[in-house]
Amino acid sequence: MEVLPKAIVQAIEALSDLPGIGSRSAERLVLNLMRSSSGLDQRIASSLSNLKKNVHECKTCFHFCEIEKEECAICTNQSRDKKVLCVIETPLDLIALEKTHEYKGLYHVLHGVISPLNKIGPDDLRIHELVSRIKTHSEIQELILATSGSTESDATAMYIAQNIKPFFTGKISRLSRGIPSGGDLDYLDIGTLSRAISERRDF
């Protein structure tokens, strides 16, 4: 790599540290930026250098929020249904759920799952905050545990349900499991398919 100037090598190394971008892709990206006169290099540089400065976590739901505000755009939106609370693992899940336009309630972002292998316990997540949020907000009538499909996600949902059931009288629900839209049965894994049979619904 000593055939390239230091500045280019540094940019390639930095971009190839992003997940899913290898050194070949990083080379292409950087040399593309070198050639382009659109100013994209400066736009990426300034947006990334301002990224963490201008964002913090919402004090209520722990989703990302403008630095000058205490609560995020969803918590402060008066048209959202304050009776339903959806517990998710990451802000990416929030983006995905919002794109469905199916859910109008509030969120609570855990920022991870319980994972003993990675030394992440309940105290490393926003579970205490969730428990006290449900205790202090008596208007909440349903809690949706919208964790992912992994074993760790299941365990996290179970832990939360156990901690909340003793005092919460509302409904606790979770996302349905089954075959994905457009999915071919013969390509599905056994776990998904066996759940789709055991949890079948009336036609």
In the complex with its own copies, the residue whose CB is nearer, 76 or 151, is 76
The DSSP 8-state label assigned to residue 179 in this structure reads P
Instruction: Give min distance, CB of 139 to its own copies, in A.
Output: 21
Closest CA relative to residue 130, chosen from 95, 92, 104, 156: 156
- Separation of alpha carbons 162 and 130, rounded Å: 13
Could you say which residues in the range 97-116 bind its own copies, by CB under 8 A? 98, 111
In the complex with its own copies, the residue whose CB is nearer, 148 or 163, is 148
- Separation of alpha carbons 179 and 189, rounded Å: 10
Site string for its own copies, 30-49 (x = CB under 8 A): xxxxxx--x-xxxxxxxxxx
Does the footprint of its own copies cover residue 95 (CB under 8 A)? yes
**Helix ranges, the chain (H):** 6-16, 23-35, 40-51, 91-100, 127-136, 151-164, 190-198
Does the footprint of its own copies cover residue 180 (CB under 8 A)? no
Contacts to its own copies by CB under 8 A? 2-8, 10-11, 13-15, 17-20, 25, 27-35, 38, 40-55, 63-67, 72-74, 90-92, 94-95, 98, 111
